[in-house]
Structure 1
């Protein structure tokens, strides 16, 4: 049965809320404050109908509701239920700033305009006229600017449109959700998705321990969990604030930091550091806008100095990378100040002597050599310059790794697109038991698919003996491979958030385990266990293997960089670290080659509308092109099995009568699929035509997955500066015959001529879309 057809029982929401309370009472009683216990007691003492109504409201979006919009069959006497919830303090009239902001955000345009009329009539002097054509955001801004939304005005509005109620005890409720989910949540949506079959449970464990047993630790963790969405709101609205408002917001956060609780576990400490680093980055964004003609206090120079100190203050609240990198860069940028110069030296020495991670160490080394020892190029530049070059067929543009795999297979290698998934798969399968099945595994409910302590050092600290026991298997590659494949078979396709079931994982693992330098995999897995957050990404793109004279695999790791790609810091760190471990690691630049015998299929379709999932093709034409010449063609009207809209009939000239006797698409699908073959799919605005052809072929059981070539995009690149790149205007400009525009055969034939023009202008480097 489809999820949308599944009928949930009337007390579905209430049942799961009660289940949640039972879990909290049994596992988390020791970390609940009196106000949390009082909330649970108040709820449990409510009559059934009041419980039903409150839980239904909790599972809706927002805080403020019109009672006429929340009528439920299982709550026959809504007025009585509301009265009981008011008496218990679980509902109230909208009055707080948070209530008003919620109503303002979710009200429709009509309701906002009515509020303006009601509130404006009470004010003197007369407000500026609000334009009738104002958008919803403009009306919201008008209401805020003139302070029209107040408890009084919202009450006036509700008297005309029905009673409004606002949820209460939200902070206490959020804490209960946090204890269960381990993150900031506002509803029990996970239970709904589970019961609809959209989000199955992990199935790793049946018995779960409490996430927190220390109350202060739990409260501190909750405090930081609440701060994260607040910061995200600031980041999302950052560009809409002027410079003064941006600085005021940052200063407010600076003051709030004084009241932040002390983190009492590694995970919370990392959350605090992430908040501080994000605030530092926002401050640096503001700093870049402060110039000589922007004076926010006395002068721009003093303002820059003040903001620099603010950014430094935020970064100094974090003891690790990347905040350490930002600190060093700020000190260096202001090194003419003796104090800043001294701070730079101290910061750099700290990063070199006691780095928090490999990324920090490699950055500090590179910084010292370039900035202080005046080395002309960075390690990154040197590494890029050392790269060999391989030439791939342009057919694989947008699919670089796939093309490289084919290239190396032709050279006699076993070749795989491995990237992070190979190493994550090794880590996940080798440590499956401590990750997912151990009593100490930090999985605290049925929805979690990754241990909650994996991103901190606690995972290794808590289960060091078991982890080391599994790592020791790598001392004997044959034993390790046997165990890895056994776990692979037993757990295959079990959903988890550590690694994915890469289709080549079972083939790659034996090659890696047998071919890695002795002892290195143990070190890498240990690093991942100790610092998964930083050590689980940046691995090379390809795994190559050849059999040695001794019969064991010789492996190489290859990072690919095509034109326009960049090498990120974590990728450079991983490559350098793997090289130091003794792996054969290569960076390879990719250049593209255009095969002279490439076959293109140039296609145009006419349709009943613009959406491939709903509309259908009425006319299709395809020309097969090689060496710049048409070598084959295909065209047909198509019966779309629906009426063609009148305006499309006027545009294309294709009438319902013309297609009535035309074949259905299913009748031409096999021939068309064979005609297209494995050519490059060319069209003018290719995504439109490709989307329709793929959808139509897919309905008939013929999958389509080809490189795409867009003549709109390529004409803009090959012939920049034209007034228009529509097919009609291009045909006119280049004197291409187009006598029956908006019929598939004529448009496709004109597109063939555009393809020739593009190929004549540039023989290499044509960009295909993935």
Structure 2
């Protein structure tokens, strides 16, 4: 059931924010902020409603005649109250350009009409052209605009109220208003919030921290809006001069400076170097400086800098860079650390080129054909394990709880301070697990207790525990504990870069990073893989060679349905023809009870009636049979996305993840037989005299499509 917003919900949200500022953020306010709150508290409810409505708007100017709302009985009186309190004002001559730009095109034409003889106004002109003409004309005729100003109120939310929103949300948005949208989506039940939230807390300890973060967030938005070199240069000087208080501010300032460096490095070399020097403990900035100094021939400086980094690196990633650069540039070794790892750990696997669009699936299929269990894991496996292991320490019993119900990602992870702030709790927890079973029980207990509670680490789903159970029960407990502890120490470094696959062979798991020809191993992957190996896990690089497998099995599928995929329709029949080496090796078909009425026009098209499917199995009942028949083959259909999409949707409804390589005979026949008037199955069957004896029945259409596939392959072979 759709929720309804409460009466006067904008005022309710406004008051919720002001209450938070009053109770939690007094230490983050200046005199002007306190004065604003005092003025708001003295307003009538009507005045507060009007102010909340104005602040919910995005533009700088708000047209007075649009401020009519059911909860405000007397808009004129409410606006007058706000003006007397000094909370809003009308624009004046200094704002004339913004006023003209705010007008609609018809309003601009009406305003300029009396002066048309002087201006040569064209009604067909673009609005931007009209605004330019109006600004040029009224710059020396401002008196004509005076009556216009009283039609607008200046939306001064950016002066104070935007800062309050920032204190609550911790980020500024260039689009929709931060807290208003968050509250509205929460009230509608659309946005997930933490159910355990009881009290919102301040996210900054000092006024300096709050204001430096706020200023840098404003600079971040300014960077997004900047378009010219002059704007980027001015912003660079502003960001360099801005003090960064606290880890979050330092990280944001470094990120901004690096973006400005990229923007200006070819425009202003001197400023670009100054930008890099202004970065504080930034491995990326240091790496750029080293590379640039090496290009300029300052090799002694570079060598000393690299040796200093190796002695005391900021991150593992920086250490790998310094070690690699020193080895290749000064020790004259041709193979980098990345190349060495690739050579030492890789296994070459021949994979059918049909998997070019999803190489990981091809490698997974390769191992599954050998009887091994394979899981697509990447970052999800370790992020979900980390979250479930340390849920209590991150979200419940923590000295740094999330600041409010919308904060889903723990602050201590954002600042890489988790282990440092809760070392005793973490050490005690890790010491409790003597066996993999101990750890699995802990994970399952937290999963049951906190299931579906929102968090910023992973998404809940019904299959979440399966790969975690395999990992835990088939890995040394020492390896698991070691890597989990490393994640508590350096979460930002170890949150991603994990191998694509986890492979279970016997009672042992190993990880594989899949690399197709031309793919490269990134340094963050090197960091993570190295950490996994040091913890005691086996990690390999699966280097893929593409082949055209002559033993391919094709599963040619056709389905009949109650209608289109988007209309909530269901499958009524499935037909399957399996082929290998150009011969049919199996056929299978079944009617499906769609559990809904079949429309008359579909009955007339297919001949399948409600009576025919009444005693047929549901898709859920045949799903496993179908999946087993499709296993290890290529999914082929005429207009493949229709058939594949329906089966994938039905599998999702049955709790099955469906994914396999696919081939479309419409696409392939266009390539093989260009110039035909139509590529529908019926017309192609007529053209090539295919055996289509019962069109729009699943097995008949699948059989004709199988014949078409053979013709396509024969044409390709000849070419």
Aligned to 2:555: 600
* Cα distance per residue 1:505-531 (max 9 Å; x no partner): 545556655665675544433332233
Distance 1:488 1:702 in 2: 21
- Kept in 1, the 8 Å contact 2:233–2:264? The answer is no
Q: What is the deviation of 1:471?
A: 3.4
- Kept in 1, the 8 Å contact 2:577–2:702? The answer is no
Q: What is the deviation of 1:192?
A: 1.7
Aligned to 1:358: 316
- Structure 2 CA distance for partners of 1:705 and 1:163, relative to 1, 3 Å: farther
1:255-294 paired onto structure 2 within 5 Å: 255-260=237-242, 262-284=243-265, 287=266
- Structure 2 CA distance for partners of 1:73 and 1:351, relative to 1, 3 Å: same
Q: Which moved more, 1:438-447 or 1:119-128?
A: 119-128
Q: What is the deviation of 1:265?
A: 0.9
For the residue of structure 2 that corresponds to 1:18, the secondary structure is helix
- Kept in 1, the 8 Å contact 2:571–2:646? The answer is no
For the residue of structure 2 that corresponds to 1:165, the secondary structure is strand
* Cα distance per residue 1:682-706 (max 9 Å; x no partner): 4565435655787799999999866
- Structure 2 CA distance for partners of 1:83 and 1:640, relative to 1, 3 Å: farther
Distance 2:51 2:198 in 1: 30
- Kept in 2, the 8 Å contact 1:684–1:727? The answer is no
Q: What is the deviation of 1:11?
A: 1.9
Aligned to 1:237: none
For the residue of structure 1 that corresponds to 2:283, the secondary structure is coil
* Cα distance per residue 1:34-55 (max 9 Å; x no partner): 1111222222211211211221
Distance 1:412 1:213 in 2: 56
Q: What is the deviation of 1:193?
A: 1.7
- Kept in 2, the 8 Å contact 1:71–1:78? The answer is yes
Distance 1:22 1:422 in 2: 40
For the residue of structure 2 that corresponds to 1:170, the secondary structure is coil
1:34-49 paired onto structure 2 within 5 Å: 34-49=31-46
Report how many aligned residue pairs link the two structures: 691
1:212-227 paired onto structure 2 within 5 Å: 212-227=204-219
Distance 1:633 1:735 in 2: 26
Q: What is the deviation of 1:599?
A: 3.6
Q: What is the deviation of 1:445?
A: 1.0
Q: What is the deviation of 1:176?
A: 0.8
Aligned to 1:471: 430
1:507-656 paired onto structure 2 within 5 Å: 507-509=466-468, 512=471, 519-545=478-504, 553-563=507-517, 565-591=519-545, 594=549, 596=551, 598-601=553-556, 603=558, 612-614=565-567, 624=577, 626-627=579-580, 628=582
For the residue of structure 2 that corresponds to 1:316, the secondary structure is helix
1:9-408 paired onto structure 2 within 5 Å: 9-93=6-90, 111-112=104-105, 114-115=107-108, 118-119=111-112, 122=115, 126=119, 131=124, 139=126, 141-143=128-130, 146=133, 148=135, 163-184=151-172, 186=177, 187-234=179-226, 245=228, 247-260=229-242, 262-284=243-265, 287=266, 307-318=268-279, 319-332=281-294, 334-335=295-296, 338=297, 340-386=298-344, 387-391=346-350, 400-401=359-360, 404-405=363-364, 407-408=366-367
Q: What is the deviation of 1:587?
A: 0.9
Distance 1:620 1:157 in 2: 71
Distance 1:759 1:711 in 2: 10
Q: What is the deviation of 1:229?
A: 2.5
Distance 1:504 1:615 in 2: 25
Tell me the TM-score normalised to structure 2 length: 0.79
Q: What is the deviation of 1:613?
A: 2.3
* Cα distance per residue 1:484-508 (max 9 Å; x no partner): 3433332233221123446565455
1:415-564 paired onto structure 2 within 5 Å: 415-474=374-433, 479-501=438-460, 506-509=465-468, 512=471, 519-545=478-504, 553-563=507-517
Distance 1:25 1:248 in 2: 40
Aligned to 1:648: none
- Kept in 2, the 8 Å contact 1:605–1:744? The answer is yes
Q: What is the deviation of 1:564?
A: 5.9
* Cα distance per residue 1:299-327 (max 9 Å; x no partner): xxxxxxx6344333323332223333333
Distance 2:418 2:96 in 1: 41
- Structure 2 CA distance for partners of 1:522 and 1:499, relative to 1, 3 Å: same
Q: Which moved more, 1:148-157 or 1:531-540?
A: 148-157
Q: What is the deviation of 1:270?
A: 0.9
- Structure 2 CA distance for partners of 1:657 and 1:213, relative to 1, 3 Å: closer
Distance 2:457 2:468 in 1: 16
- Structure 2 CA distance for partners of 1:251 and 1:472, relative to 1, 3 Å: same
* Cα distance per residue 1:194-252 (max 9 Å; x no partner): 22122242134434543223111111121122222222334xxxxxx5xxx3x223212
- Kept in 2, the 8 Å contact 1:666–1:700? The answer is no
For the residue of structure 2 that corresponds to 1:453, the secondary structure is helix
- Structure 2 CA distance for partners of 1:123 and 1:34, relative to 1, 3 Å: farther
* Cα distance per residue 1:642-692 (max 9 Å; x no partner): 89xxxxxxxxxxx99966998479959969977994555545654356557
Distance 2:311 2:300 in 1: 17
- Cα RMSD over matched residues? 5.0
- Structure 2 CA distance for partners of 1:31 and 1:416, relative to 1, 3 Å: same
Q: Identify unmatched segments of 5+ residues in structure 1.
A: 133-138, 235-240, 288-305, 548-552, 644-654, 764-770
Distance 2:66 2:317 in 1: 54
Q: What is the deviation of 1:32?
A: 0.8
For the residue of structure 2 that corresponds to 1:65, the secondary structure is strand
Distance 1:483 1:349 in 2: 43
- Structure 2 CA distance for partners of 1:383 and 1:275, relative to 1, 3 Å: same
Q: Identify unmatched segments of 5+ residues in structure 2.
A: none
Distance 2:374 2:562 in 1: 43
Q: Which moved more, 1:164-173 or 1:71-80?
A: 164-173
For the residue of structure 2 that corresponds to 1:190, the secondary structure is helix
- Structure 2 CA distance for partners of 1:181 and 1:129, relative to 1, 3 Å: same
